[in-house]
Amino acid sequence: MTSLLLYRALLLLYPASWRAEYGDEMRAAFAARLRGASGFPGKLWLWLEVIPDLIPSAAAVQFDVLGQDLRYAARTLRRSPSFAIAAVAIGAIGIGATTAAFTMVDHVMIRPFPYVQADRLVKLTESPIDKPGDWDVSPANYRDWKQMSRSFSGMEAYRSLSADVSGQGEPRRLDGASLTAGALQLLGVRPLLGRWFTEADDTDAAHCVILSYGLWQSQYGGDAAVLGSVIRLDGRPHTIIGVMPRDFYFPNRTALLWTTMHWAPDAFEDRTDTYIFGVARLKPGVRVEEARAEMRGIGARIARAYPQQLANLTVRTIRLRDDVSPRSLLVLKVLSGAALCVLLIACTNLANLLLARAMVRRRELSVRTALGAGRERLARQMLTESLILTLAGGGLGWLLAHVMLPLLVKLIPVSLPLAEIPPLDHGILILAMVLVCATGLGFGLIPALRGQRQILSGLREGGRWGIGGARQRLRSALVMIEVAGSVMLLVGFGLLSRALLRVEAVDPGFHAEHVLTLETSLPMPRFETEEARDPFYRRVLSETRRLPGVRVASYISFLPMVHGGGIWPVEIEGHPLDVALRPRVSLRFVTPGFFSAMGIPLRMGRDVRESDIHKQPYVAIVSQSFVNRHWPGLDPIGRHFTMADVPRTVVGVAGDIRVRGLERESEPQVYLSWEQADNVSSWYAPKDLVVRVSGDPLLLAPAIRRIIHEADPEVPISDVRPLDDIVSAETETRRVQLAVLGAFGAVAFLLAAVGIHSLLAFAVSQRTQEIGVRMALGAKSRDIVGMTLFDGLKLAAIGIAAGVAIALAEGSCLDSLLFGVAPYDLATFAAAAALAMLMTLAGSLIPALRAVRIDPTAAIRAE
Amino acid sequence: MPASQLPDPQSLLPLPTVTFHILMAVAAGDRHGYAIIQDVAERTGNRLRLGAGTLYRSLERMLRQGLIEETGDRPAPEIDDERRRYYRITRRGEAVARAEAARLTDLVRMARASGFAKGRA
């Protein structure tokens, strides 16, 4: 008895259709042999024969059936190529968009950083007590945090670094980071070659450098003999002691080399001299909230000890992984929302397509059912069809996602310590494919199965059956969802386009046309003093000015928009304040001619002059907002303020410029003479060259390069570009964002139009007779067209109303990206609604015209 | 499947051994599945014992190829088992079996000529 049961269970390996056909036979044959087998050895022998027979044969049968189903599906799909193409394309779009978008979400928010137990690492910075902020730390504060805290098993510090690398071909400016000796150990990543830094490397005497894998490959061809060789960073020889592994990045993707940080003994005196960040590893069992509370307490204690320097400051403790700007997060949310919307629309469209197909195929299915095809067999075939469509769609979607990813990466201008273009997330790809496949099954298979009984009755009635009211209603609902989704995307697109126009309309405060800019970072320490720099500036500027087509040339510390920092406190004469409370301005050193080179209007007084040199009175040009804030209504010329412990006299007033970029408020600007930089670090030394020309700025680049190279062959030249480009780079993220949203919106829009069209076309074909009768009874063409269009518009109206409601909520989420455009901007909503209406009309037009062309006599005769 | 869509008999050659044995088993008269197993075992002196899985997969394929057919006729009710299906060789089946036999005879003749087998070529 057990043997028979076991055999019955083994038969489950076969497809049900096979079991129905041969199951009884096989059991009977087995039973007959069982009767012949005597005792335990006989039965054992029987099983030893049966199992090696049954299992391969079951597999072969399954394989046969799969082959049949595949051939069958391929044949049916070939017979309706437009359906197959549409279904695959729709699936691909939904799958591709979702995969790309969520790969980005995963990349920016979730993927662990390449460190050991990265979730235990936190970043420590200073921040104002009353608002969010992420400010650098003074070495003194860092040292106290490290000594006082108990939550961490280790705390280290780092700062970004930019160094001229020479000794190998053209001098180059490379980004890197300075680290305290234990930082790499704290991160837990061993060098691929060589060793970590040690405490001994942390002295001023030992200069060593660790290379990134990328730099090692590109510059040294991956040669292991590189260890021990010497390169010059900013002129100082550094010994290469290690190479980090390929996937290691710290603190961001751009860092190509790492050196140790050297602190002079006096580095721990000034707590306002901030330039490092802390990184720490939580002790086992300590939660980040506990560490945060402890650090706040420590911050408060230190601030009480140094009330003047640390007023209003606290410590910010954040998981290293969570250090992503809120704006990037919002962009991501918009992106993934739009992708979900596209997926939803793709699925509804697919559902719609399949419902229509199921209705068309009822006849085929009923014939096959009548001929004895079992439910299971039909289900299997439709499953195979769905799988084929999904796999094709998934494959195409995978390609699509690969094309989209490099574009999406530009959306989020973060340089996380991860590879630039994230590997495609196959989990999400599969999830999206499962969703599409489920839609295919849900709307293709289930109705087919559920409708079987009714199909059979339909077959008996001959070729005629009803419209399938419930199903048509479902299809209408799906179309409404599509309309609502596309309205949502259109509104998002519209609002963000208007925001872009607004940002582009912002006056940067200077005239960017016909200006060439480039950076000549001056190798330190050779150029540390003003005396050393001065001959270089004079030579380069005078020779550049002599070039034909050059109108003005000038040097500045940092170009606006390229570098927004360089903030310094000032003390206005007659308003003494603690350092922390002093007004902060954007400080730049310039050579004469800067304002005319940039096209910044000089409102009062004069420019910096050649004569404003070291021994002369210290002069300053301030921006209009500086005057408005500190001397409203007064004549600013001749007034004084103190900066870097030196009193300065205002000699001119310039127009304000957008130092921090088009979308951000900038501090008031103060420009000082390039020769009067006492007490200010050489970091502020002018190194960005601005040349106003009369023609195409890039044409002069080779000549200017030559001049600089002749003036000093060790000075690296980088970032040669027109000022225009710098300004348009400001809006690049927005443009990419719009392109993505626009593409998503266009796809959604198109899909919705197709959905409306196919729904109405089907309705018209089902109502041929009714329309024929109406026409025979005297209905005019106009009435028939009106009737069809009305059906479409009714759907659109409901969809638009829903879309507008959702878009209103959407707009308020987008608020911080809208740059002042109202989230409920009437024009945008009206345009989106109108477009959706137009789309409906366009989608309904062909079915409506087809309805008119119905020949009443033929239609009624068919009845 | 209409006969016009059936594959050319020549394209079925050489026949799988199991198929040839089944054809020989049903040539003598209609047989049900278990009877075919017994028949083949007897004919080969138990050297070929078909498993049910192999048998029914072969039968299913042979039905598709039009080599055999299911019979509607049943033996007398007292020896019939309701579950059983009986298979009968078709003309096409006979033709294919003959072609296979001729092919094998030919082969044996050539083997004799080469001295691989006893007997006259």
Contact B51 A54 (CB under 8 A): yes
A553 shares its domain with A642? yes
Contact B56 A54 (CB under 8 A): no
Cα angle: A682, vertex A688, A691; to 5 degrees: 145
CA distance B57 to chain A (A): 7
Q: Given the structure tokens 């409370």, which residue do they identify?
A: A581
pLDDT digits (tens, 9 = 90+) for A173-228: 888 999 998 999 999 999 999 888 888 776 665 689 999 998 999 888 888 888 88
Q: Cα separation of A198 and A192, whole Å?
A: 16
pLDDT digits (tens, 9 = 90+) for A90-132: 888 888 888 888 888 888 888 888 899 988 999 999 988 877 7
Q: What average pLDDT does range A291-303 have in this prediction? A: 93
A346 shares its domain with A455? yes
User: What pLDDT does residue A462 have?
Assistant: 40
pLDDT bucket at A479, cuts 50 / 70 / 90: confident
DSSP state of A222: T
Q: Cα separation of A440 and A432, whole Å?
A: 12
Q: Cα separation of A579 and A270, whole Å?
A: 11
pLDDT digits (tens, 9 = 90+) for A219-263: 888 888 888 888 888 778 889 999 999 889 988 888 899 999 878
pLDDT of B94 over the 80 cut: yes
Termini Cα distance of chain B: 42
CA distance B92 to chain A (A): 23
Token pair belonging to A722: 């027109």
Token pair belonging to A658: 């957008």
Q: What average pLDDT does range A575-595 have in this prediction? A: 87
pLDDT digits (tens, 9 = 90+) for A504-546: 889 999 999 999 999 998 887 788 888 889 999 999 999 999 9
For residue A159, the SS3 value is strand
Q: Given the structure tokens 């200010």, which residue do they identify?
A: A680
Phi/psi at A212 (5° precision): -80, 160
User: What pLDDT does residue A158 have?
Assistant: 94
For residue A771, the SS3 value is helix
- Look at chain A and report how many structural domains it folds into: 5
A99 shares its domain with A37? no
pLDDT of A376 over the 80 cut: no
Residues of chain B with C-beta less than 8 angstroms from the C-beta of A56: 53
User: What pLDDT does residue A86 have?
Assistant: 82
A305 shares its domain with A268? yes
pLDDT bucket at A168, cuts 50 / 70 / 90: low
* Within-domain flag for A189: yes
A319 vs A751, residue with greater confidence: A319
A564 shares its domain with A606? yes
Determine if the peptide bond prior to B14 is cis (ω within 30°): yes
Name every residue in B having a CB less than 8 A away from some CB of A.
Answer: 32-34, 37, 49, 51-57, 59-60, 81, 83-85
Q: Given the structure tokens 């710098």, which residue do they identify?
A: A726
**What percent of chain A shows pLDDT beyond 90?**
27
The residue among A322, A354, A389 that closes a domain is A322
The residue among A667, A687, A715 that closes a domain is A715
Q: How many Cβ atoms from other residues are within 10 Å of residue A795's Cβ?
A: 25
Contact A49 B34 (CB under 8 A): no
* Within-domain flag for A517: no
Residues of chain A with C-beta less than 8 angstroms from the C-beta of B37: 29
Q: What average pLDDT does range A411-439 have in this prediction? A: 80
Q: Cα separation of A37 and A768, whole Å?
A: 69
- CA-nearest residue of chain B to A30? B52
* Within-domain flag for A127: no
User: What pLDDT does residue A327 have?
Assistant: 77
Q: Are A144 and A131 in contact (CB under 8 A)?
A: no
Closest by CA position to A357, among listed A460, A509, A475: A475
pLDDT of A298 over the 50 cut: yes
Q: Are A95 and A432 in contact (CB under 8 A)?
A: yes
Closest by CA position to A659, among listed A643, A674, A670, A673: A670
Contact B51 A58 (CB under 8 A): no
User: What pLDDT does residue A167 have?
Assistant: 66
Structural domain B14-113, CATH architecture = Orthogonal Bundle (1.10)
Residues of chain A with C-beta less than 8 angstroms from the C-beta of B56: 22, 25-26, 57
A408 shares its domain with A487? no
pLDDT of A466 over the 60 cut: no
Question: What residues form DSSP beta bridges with A494?
Answer: none
- CA-nearest residue of chain B to A61? B57
User: What pLDDT does residue A300 have?
Assistant: 92
A207 shares its domain with A304? yes
The DSSP H or E segment spanning A87 is helix A81-105
Token pair belonging to A12: 């489950």
Residues of chain A with C-beta less than 8 angstroms from the C-beta of B81: 28
Q: Cα separation of A707 and A715, whole Å?
A: 11
* Within-domain flag for A631: yes
* Within-domain flag for A296: yes
Question: Between B37, B59, B83, which is nearest A24 by CB?
Answer: B83
* Within-domain flag for A510: no
pLDDT digits (tens, 9 = 90+) for B26-83: 988 888 888 898 899 898 988 888 888 889 889 988 998 889 988 876 555 555 555 5
- Number of Cβ pairs < 8 A linking chain A and chain B: 54
The per-residue pLDDT of chain B, averaged, comes to 83
The alpha carbons of chain B give a radius of gyration, in whole angstroms, of: 16
CA distance A33 to chain B (A): 9
Residues of chain B with C-beta less than 8 angstroms from the C-beta of A36: none
What is the residue type of A228?
G
Hey, CA dihedral for A788, A791, A793, A799, is it positive or negative?
negative
User: What pLDDT does residue A4 have?
Assistant: 84
CA distance A50 to chain B (A): 6
Token pair belonging to A490: 């259109």
Token pair belonging to A385: 């069809």
Label residue B46 exposed, middle or buried (CB < 10 Å: 0-12, 13-18, 19+). Answer: exposed
A461 shares its domain with A473? no
A172 shares its domain with A66? no
- CA-nearest residue of chain B to A52? B51
The CB-side HSE value for A223 (13 A sphere, CA atoms) comes to: 10
Residue B31: CB partners within 8 Å, gap ≥ 6? B25, B39, B86, B87
Residue A483: CB partners within 8 Å, gap ≥ 6? A752, A756, A795, A796, A798, A799, A800, A802, A803, A836, A840
Q: How many Cβ atoms from other residues are within 10 Å of residue A619's Cβ?
A: 21
What is the residue type of A268?
F
A279 shares its domain with A357? no
SS3 of A772-791: the string is HHHHHCCCCHHHHHHHHHHH
The residue among A322, A355, A388 that closes a domain is A322
| Least confident segment among A593-607, A622-636, A684-698, A840-854 | A840-854
Question: What residues form DSSP beta bridges with A314?
Answer: A127
Contact A53 B81 (CB under 8 A): no
A405 vs A377, residue with greater confidence: A405
Residues of chain B with C-beta less than 8 angstroms from the C-beta of A67: none
User: What pLDDT does residue A21 have?
Assistant: 81
The DSSP H or E segment spanning A542 is helix A530-546
Question: What residues form DSSP beta bridges with A210?
Answer: A242, A258
pLDDT bucket at A464, cuts 50 / 70 / 90: very low
Phi/psi at B6 (5° precision): -70, 145
Question: Between B49, B53, B83, which is nearest A28 by CB?
Answer: B83
CA distance B93 to chain A (A): 21
Residue A757: CB partners within 8 Å, gap ≥ 6? A843, A844, A846, A847
Residue A526: CB partners within 8 Å, gap ≥ 6? A235, A532, A714
User: What pLDDT does residue A458 have?
Assistant: 46
CA distance A371 to chain B (A): 13
- CA-nearest residue of chain A to B48? A49
Residue spans per domain, chain B? 14-113
A489 shares its domain with A529? no
Question: What residues form DSSP beta bridges with A155?
Answer: A280
The alpha carbons of chain A give a radius of gyration, in whole angstroms, of: 37
The domain in which residue A251 lies consists of 135-322
For residue A748, the SS3 value is helix
Q: Cα separation of A745 and A741, whole Å?
A: 6
Token pair belonging to A575: 């308003």
Question: What residues form DSSP beta bridges with A233?
Answer: A165, A236
A190 shares its domain with A259? yes
Q: Are A247 and A419 in contact (CB under 8 A)?
A: yes
Question: Between B34, B51, B59, which is nearest A28 by CB?
Answer: B34
Token pair belonging to A451: 């409708």
Q: Cα separation of A348 and A363, whole Å?
A: 24
CA distance A447 to chain B (A): 29
Question: Between B52, B57, B60, which is nearest A29 by CB?
Answer: B52
Phi/psi at A14 (5° precision): -85, 155
The per-residue pLDDT of chain A, averaged, comes to 85
User: What pLDDT does residue A415 have?
Assistant: 66
Q: What average pLDDT does range A723-738 have in this prediction? A: 86
pLDDT of A380 over the 80 cut: no
User: What pLDDT does residue A442 have?
Assistant: 77
Question: Between A28, A30, A61, which is nearest B84 by CB?
Answer: A28
